[in-house]
Amino acid sequence: MILDKTSIYSQGIRHIVLSLVLFFVSSQSLFSRVLRVEKNKGETISTAIARAESGDTLIIPSGNYAEPTIVVDKSLYIKGENFPVLDGQDKNEILETKANYVTITGLKFINAGRSDINDMAAIKIFNGHHVEIRSNIIEHAYFSIYLQGCTNCFIYNNFIHGVKASEMMSGNGIHCWHSDSLRIFQNNISSQRDGIYFEFVTNSLILGNFSHNNERYGLHFMFSNSDTYTSNIFQENGAGVAVMYTKNLTMLYNKFLLNWGDAAYGLLLKDISDSKIEGNTFQENTEAVHIEGSTRMEFRNNLFLSNGWAAQVQASCMDIVVTHNCFVGNSFDISTNGDLVLTKFDGNYWDKYEGYDLDRNGIGDVPYRPVGLYSVIIQKIPSALMLFRSPMTNLLDKAEKVIPGMTPVDLIDNRPLMKSMSSRYD
């Protein structure tokens, strides 16, 4: 981890040094030129690239460009004026980069081709480093931005709107595979299969993106270790955010909103270990968090507001610590499929807590059991949901609290807070 970071820094420094060198070299010897695509003379982007040299800036004037796949094989700074439209005519990929130090900005990509055999994308980045895709609009693409074998790439401020067809017909918004040290910042992604997809991607940061209304997941993580995602909003996606088979993950200050439906989660954690989930907000999801097969996880300072289930903790989990979270207005707080749950709840605020605090230290004097009787009943007989909140079932719930019989005895918060420290829901 430390070594990795150092390598990022050293690469960054190298980058700066290189830029400085280039700047001096180019300014003194006038090597670096600014070229324009001569559209009125019938020039295509591809031919303009052909006459450019590494280090040049290529300006694309506004207008429509429909040409076969544009391959950027030099270190160019490609900039659009007033969002020139690059049309894939539903048959080909629009742009591929095969060089390092490429910047693509200010372009509008539409109608990239789609194919069942290979993953066609609006922008494809192969084995590059220091490629920057900034402030572009991508519409109606199968895959929108596709990175493979990349390092130190920066995907920033793009507006991506796919075709919301069935899952099979739609690709991912930002698809990253076998990459390292990526930064995915502040993109707006919708109507794709997965908003952001990570597979075998390490040491990367996903920050401030708005991934919404995607067919499947807002964010999909597989086998991607040591990544951080923070301050993103995932809203109304088919099944929320899925994180699987991953270690050393940090999830901070994200919002998981309105992920509704059968098997819809705010956050699905499957086979995760050594990860931290802190300061997130989960609001109005069917299941805010679903954890299975995970170990050594810490949930701290999260807000669970008005969800169907705040958390479903499967018995296959170990060493999960849930502390200083705030549970408000959820239909059910915690649900589990087993009796022996190795999850430690401590010092959370539960709005369903009905205990008292005689010594006035802010901590309830009697423990709280976050798994209610009715949540157990519904786990066994889902149709019983129809009788939820009936005075009769309330009565049973109260009786169960006094003499626990069906609810897991070990699942307990011994120090429930009397007041929520969070005022975020007010």
Partner 1 sequence: MGKISKYVILDLIRNRIVLSYLVVLLAISFSLFNLDSNPVKGILGLLNISLLIVPLVSIIFGTIYYYNSAEFIELLLTMPIKRKQIIISVYAGLAVALSVAVLLGMGIPILIYSPNATGLTLLIVSIALTWVFVSIAMLASVLTRDKAKGIGVVILLWLYFGLIYDGLLLLILFTFSDYPMEKSMVALSALNPIDLGRIYILLQLDISAIMGYTGAIYRDFLGSSIGMVFAFAMLFVWIIIPLLLCIRRFNRKDI
Q: Which residues bind partner 1 (CB under 8 A)?
A: 260-264, 284-287, 306-309, 328-329, 331-332, 351, 380-396, 425-426
In the complex, least distance from residue 219 CB atom to partner 1, rounded to whole angstroms: 20
In the complex, least distance from residue 383 CB atom to partner 1, rounded to whole angstroms: 5
In the complex, least distance from residue 388 CB atom to partner 1, rounded to whole angstroms: 6
From 147, 105, 158, select the one nearest 124 (Cα to Cα): 147
Q: In terms of CB distance, is 177 or 327 closer to partner 1?
A: 327
End-to-end Cα spacing for the chain: 39
Q: In terms of CB distance, is 272 or 305 closer to partner 1?
A: 305
What's the token pair of residue 137? 């609009």
In the complex, least distance from residue 305 CB atom to partner 1, rounded to whole angstroms: 10
d(CA 355, CA 67): 70
Q: Using alpha carbons only, what angle is made at residue 111 by residues 172 and 190, rounded to the nearest 5 degrees?
A: 35
Q: Which residues contact 256 (CB under 8 A, 6 or more apart)?
A: 218, 234, 235, 240, 241, 266, 267, 280, 281, 282, 283, 285, 288
Residue the block writes with tokens 């005075």: 391
Sign of CA dihedral 245, 250, 254, 255: positive
According to DSSP, the β-strands at 287-292 and 309-313 are: parallel
Q: Which residues contact 115 (CB under 8 A, 6 or more apart)?
A: 142
Which run of H or E residues covers position 124?
strand 121-126
Q: In terms of CB distance, is 116 or 262 closer to partner 1?
A: 262
Q: In terms of CB distance, is 205 or 421 closer to partner 1?
A: 421
In the complex, least distance from residue 35 CB atom to partner 1, rounded to whole angstroms: 54
What's the token pair of residue 103? 């910047």
In the complex, least distance from residue 389 CB atom to partner 1, rounded to whole angstroms: 6
Q: In terms of CB distance, is 47 or 394 closer to partner 1?
A: 394
Q: In terms of CB distance, is 254 or 307 closer to partner 1?
A: 307
In the complex, least distance from residue 304 CB atom to partner 1, rounded to whole angstroms: 11
Q: In terms of CB distance, is 395 or 409 closer to partner 1?
A: 395
